[in-house]
Amino acid sequence: MRLDKTEISLGLVALACVLFGFVSPGWLIFLLTIALAKALVVQGVVMQMRSGLVSFGQGLFYCIGGYTVGMGGQFFGIHDAIAALSLGMFVAIVVAMLLGLLLTRYREIFFAMLSLAFSMILFGILVKSQELGSTDGFNVHDWTLFGWAPEAGAGSQHTVFTMTVVSGLIVAVLIHRYTKAGIGVICEAVRENEVRVEYLGLSPRWLLYGNYVAAAAVSALGGGLTALATGHVDPEMAYWTTSGEFVFIALLGGLGHVAAPFIAAIVFSFVRTYAIEFVPHTWQMILGFTLLAVIIFLPKGLWSLVSREKTGERA
């Protein structure tokens, strides 16, 4: 297995992150963990965007991942973090395989609306289920890692951070390889012109289906990690505004590079933390104007700021 330049740099950055985790203050660790976990969900959104589909319902799988981790500890005695996360991904894959059969028949706004509807269905069910704490959600049970229980508080926070960085690295490398592979390139062809891809003898629908299921798994991983980090899950995870946030981060980063969603999510989390503290009632307004500015001035996202120089040289 040969590593290319991107993979090596991703690995180095991840290593630096893990080391940074040992010296950084707790609040920063927490913030970064949530940002990176969200970035995983955004990776799911971006995977679908590359083939032209905008999901306004990725919160569905974020929520499934989170609730599975929570319920696993609460009701089924699954306390091992890896097992719980895998279970979350498994449940998400099963759900996505079913919903995908229907959803892949739709494009553009219809895909967006229908994915939104499915996530709202889950929201509706969770809000009405008393056993799961209704609108309040419930707390995630203390968890272990291969039988080892990290001490509550700082210790477990640090462990989740490391797990998130490692998951992020694995997902990033996998997605990077996927986008560079032939089948990943076809995704972009599907976005540009689906009918022509069909003429070439490929089935865009099954490609989109595969994308949808893979995106679901990645997003569920992000949701599970968020649940472990915050120690709490609530139905808000499936509400459509949560999904809107993921779309926002995806557009902010752009589709140019596998690292873009991570950077965008970190920028987003920092700006939000400070904006909510200093200007609580104009935070969404700032988001709105930023989104418009990105659409108008940086249609390829923040990443185009980084990559602009290179294309400039070539031209």
Partner 1 sequence: MTSLLAVLIDGSIYASWLFLVAAGLTVIYGVMRILNMAHGSFYAIGAYSAASLVGWYFNNGMGPAWVSYLLLVGAALVAGLIVGVIVERGLLRLMYGRDEILMVIITYALLLILEDGMKIVWGVSPYFAYQPYSELGRTSLGLLKVSNYDVALVGVSALLGLGLWAWLERTNQGKVLRAVIHDREIAVAMGVNVKLMFTITFVLGTTLGALAGALTAPAISVVPGIGIEVIVLAFAVVVIGGLGSIGGAAVGALLVGLSRAAAVHYAPEFELFVIYGVMSLVLAFRPEGLFGRTLARKI
H or E element in which residue 138 lies? strand 138-139
Q: Is 89 exposed, middle or buried (0-12, 13-18, 19+ CB in 10 A)?
A: buried
Rule CB under 8 A: is residue 117 a binding residue for partner 1? yes
Measured from the CB atom, the residue of 2 and 281 that comes closer to partner 1 is 281
110 binds partner 1 (CB under 8 A): yes
CA nearest to 112, candidates 169, 27, 200, 45? 45
128 binds partner 1 (CB under 8 A): yes
Positions 57 through 86 that interact with partner 1 (CB under 8 A): none
Tell me the number of residues near partner 1 by CB under 8 A. Answer: 44
Alpha carbon distance 33, 218 (integer Å): 15
SS3 217: helix
Helices then strands, each counted (H, E), the chain: 13, 2
**Cα–Cα distance, 178 to 7 (Å, whole number):** 13
Asked if residue 295 binds partner 1 (CB under 8 A), the reply is yes
193 binds partner 1 (CB under 8 A): yes
**Strand (E) or helix (H) holding 36:** helix 26-50
Q: Tell me, residue by residue from 18 to 57, as one string, x for binding to partner 1 by CB under 8 A and - for no binding.
A: ------------------------------------x-x-
Q: Is 202 in the site for partner 1 (CB under 8 A)?
A: no
Q: Which of 120, 169, 260, 263 binds partner 1 (CB under 8 A)?
A: 120
Q: Which residues are near partner 1 by CB under 8 A?
A: 54, 56, 102, 105-106, 108-110, 112-114, 116-118, 120-121, 123-125, 127-129, 193-196, 240-241, 244, 247-248, 251, 281-285, 287-289, 291-292, 295-296
